[in-house]
Structure 1
Amino acid sequence: MATHKLLLLPGDGIGPEVMAEVKRLIAWMNAHGLGTFETEEGLVGGASYDADKVAITDATMAKALACDAVIFGAVGGPKWASVPYEARPEAGLLRLRKDLKLYANLRPAICYPALADASSLKREVVDGLDIMIVRELTGGVYFGEPKVIQDLGDGQKRAIDTQVYDTFEIERIGRVAFELARKRNNKVASFEKRNVMKSGVLWNEVMTALHAREFPDVTLEHVLADAGGMQMVRWPKQFDVIVTDNLFGDLLSDIAAMLTGSLGMLPSASLGDVDPATGTRKAMYEPVHGSAPDITGKGVANPIAMFASFAMALRYSFGLAKEADFVEQAIANTLNAGIRTADIKAEGCKVVGTREMGDAVISEVARLAGA
């Protein structure tokens, strides 16, 4: 069995707490023949700034480039609110995405039937929800230049952020979305703002041409991003795969998180191109929930998104589909058994902490695997 090298970057806030549960799962899988994983840990975000005055060191970045997949926790918090902009915790995450060329961010939003009542929307709107948001991750307004704050004098300043997309960037993220749709319900909704943004005009043109040229069998719908956000709240089950730019993807994926009942439920995968020589690709997997400084250290964080992110690593980086199925089914079965962390608690359910939820999921993986 091939050995898979993982770089674990727990980060800040609840990142180390939820990462600890995945480390236990990895150790269990190693011990029971469900994979062979070598792990190494590093600092990122505020933890890295405290140690080295940068959000990620060159040495840690080198480890990220050399490993098979990065498993990432969370970064940020009020403790680092006043650090220099270039050293802010989030800069470590952005550098990882940029240097690893992780241009495709996959964010599944699945509402487990057991959690339908935890959503802020009506049960019938979200029960059975299963959509995939494909977010372009290395272009757009977050990386475009110029990006400056100018002093205009007389107490006035001007802030400039630049939205930039080239044809190839739109094509490659569109191709990811179409290929995913072929394995799902064969529908893609492309979100942009062509009515007011030139980048939206180009996005629309490129997606239309790509669809006609390579994916005519897939249904393509063009949606203005603001109207799409409204539709996601009104009737999200109309969508299958949503593809959009960096900024809109950031906003819409957080909306999707709340459709599922909690930010603690949403995993993500960030993928690069497949190397034709090796068949492998750079990848990073992380929960969407952030560092949650308000509950850090209390032992109540929900580790499910971290488990689900690792399941995505098993599926997309290592081809371990059966093992990924075990983890994902274990999550569903644990929820069906009425076990909840505080963020998804419901009447009649057993509320547990981070460690206890980890115990429950790993125990269920063991049962499913017959180990």
Structure 2
Amino acid sequence: MATPSILILPGDGIGPEVMAEVRKIIDWLGAKRGLSFEVSEELVGGAAYDAHGTPLTDATMAKAQEVDAVLLGAVGGPKYDDLDFSVKPERGLLRLRKEMDLFANLRPAQCFDALADFSSLKKEVVAGLDIMIVRELTSGVYFGEPRGIFTEGNERVGINTQRYTESEIARVSRSAFELARKRGNKVCSMEKANVMESGVLWREVVQKLRDEEYPDVELSHMYADAGAMQLTRWPKQFDVIVTDNLFGDLLSDLAAMLTGSLGMLPSASLGAPMANGRPKALYEPVHGSAPDIAGQGKANPIACILSFAMALRYSFDLGEEAERVEKAVEKVLADGVRTADLMGPEGGTPVSTTEMGDAIVAALDASV
């Protein structure tokens, strides 16, 4: 098989800083593990707008369609707040998701033991937490028609439409069941079947798929609002959660804070398999561009590094190497190495973005 290809889109704010630390991991894999990647780099978001007047050029979009995986840093910033909606930095990311048809968004929420005290919940509630939220990403209320702001009589009304087809529900649910088989073999499907017809259909399709294709996987159903409550009450009851675009947006951010820091959370957005069998895929940290600390060496690169670990696992079938990277991160944290966002009340001197990346590479060196 040809050398795996990666397109890096550092983006805006702290994106280039954290992506530089991912480059170190890629270089390490080549030097120490004999794993080479064909890496190219392009602009996205505000950086692309500054250079080309658009948040994503057609050429970059075409390249994203061709490579085996896209790694994205972050987009946006106050500099671009007054731009027309059609050319805001975030439109570049949305175009990637839509045109690559990345329908399954994987958002792991893992609480490393060394950071259990950073969660707003009690340590015993979150220590050892390891759940996966699978969010449908290309349909639902964010894309449904009709939508817009209209005039009715003497006032304006805002309209968004929640719309799902059976096939859209089935394909993201299939992703969740397949993931569950590699984890704890449990799926909880969350919707609002008590008040929304789309929720009724969602529940029916998920149940039918489980009964016909995944009878070995334990399936439960939960209303999304009750799911939010249960995530804060006892999150370790869950393994894989599958839900729609809107509820997934809310629930994954809620789950993010169980772990203590947005700087720790990776994500993957996956689509249908390409001709070589690999899925269309985009990997990105959950955190934003953090313009207030950009260029200061304060950013935590771990979420971006763990996003690359997800690429190793889901795009390149290198689960052993993904685990190696994850364990290196875990060791560094256990050794007390902290960026500014991970400093506890005991104080101390935080390491820089570059120093955190170097520490993870050192831990990788110790693993071979």
Same fold, TM-score > 0.5, yes or no: yes
Q: How many residues align?
A: 367
Secondary structure of 1:164's counterpart equals coil
Secondary structure of 1:286's counterpart equals strand
Counterpart in 1 of 2:135? 135
Structure 1 residues 44-123: aligned runs within 5 Å: 44-123=44-123
Is contact 1:338-1:348 (8 Å) kept?
no
Counterpart in 1 of 2:296? 298
Is contact 1:2-1:36 (8 Å) kept?
no
Secondary structure of 2:4's counterpart equals strand
Query: Residues 166-214 of structure 1: CA distance to partner in whole angstroms, max 9, x if unpaired?
Result: 0001001111111111111111110101112111111011111111111
Shift of 1:274: 2.0
Shift of 1:293: 1.9
Is contact 1:108-1:130 (8 Å) kept?
yes
**How far apart are the structure 2 equivalents of 1:87 and 1:163?**
25
Letter in 2 for 1:337: D
Letter in 1 for 2:321: E
**How far apart are the structure 2 equivalents of 1:363 and 1:17?**
19
Counterpart in 1 of 2:354? 355
Query: Residues 215-270 of structure 1: CA distance to partner in whole angstroms, max 9, x if unpaired?
Result: 12211111111110111011100100000011111111111111111001110111
Counterpart in 2 of 1:22? 22
Counterpart in 2 of 1:323? 321
Shift of 1:147: 2.2
1:204 and 2:203 equivalent? yes
**How far apart are the structure 2 equivalents of 1:137 and 1:73?**
18
Shift of 1:348: 6.5
1:238 and 2:225 equivalent? no
Secondary structure of 1:220's counterpart equals strand
Query: Residues 325-345 of structure 1: CA distance to partner in whole angstroms, max 9, x if unpaired?
Result: 110000000000000111111
Is contact 1:12-1:77 (8 Å) kept?
yes
Shift of 1:314: 0.7
Letter in 1 for 2:209: L
Comparing 348-357 with 299-308, greater Cα deviation is found at: 348-357
Query: Residues 101-123 of structure 1: CA distance to partner in whole angstroms, max 9, x if unpaired?
Result: 11111111110000000111110
Comparing 303-312 with 84-93, greater Cα deviation is found at: 84-93
Secondary structure of 1:32's counterpart equals helix
Comparing 123-132 with 89-98, greater Cα deviation is found at: 89-98
What is the aligned-residue identity percentage?
64
Comparing 329-338 with 287-296, greater Cα deviation is found at: 287-296
1:314 and 2:312 equivalent? yes
TM-score by length of 2: 0.96
Letter in 2 for 1:312: M
**How far apart are the structure 1 equivalents of 2:34 and 2:268?**
21
**How far apart are the structure 1 equivalents of 2:338 and 2:5?**
32
Counterpart in 1 of 2:271? 272
Query: Residues 303-355 of structure 1: CA distance to partner in whole angstroms, max 9, x if unpaired?
Result: 00101000010111111122111100000000000001111112366521111
Of 283, 287, 291, the residue aligned with 1:285 is: 283
Is contact 1:338-1:349 (8 Å) kept?
no
Shift of 1:31: 2.5
**How far apart are the structure 1 equivalents of 2:318 and 2:184?**
22
Is contact 1:271-1:281 (8 Å) kept?
yes
**How far apart are the structure 2 equivalents of 1:195 and 1:349?**
50
Counterpart in 2 of 1:190? 189
Letter in 2 for 1:81: D
Q: Which structure 1 residue ranges, 5 or more long, are not aligned? A: none
Of 328, 335, 338, the residue aligned with 1:337 is: 335
Secondary structure of 1:3's counterpart equals coil
1:247 and 2:246 equivalent? yes
Relative to structure 1, is the Cα distance of residues 34 and 309 closer, same or farther in structure 2, using a 3 angstrom cutoff? farther
Is contact 1:339-1:349 (8 Å) kept?
no
Shift of 1:151: 3.9
**How far apart are the structure 2 equivalents of 1:248 and 1:197?**
13
**How far apart are the structure 2 equivalents of 1:107 and 1:121?**
20
Aligned-residue RMSD, C-alpha: 1.4
TM-score by length of 1: 0.96
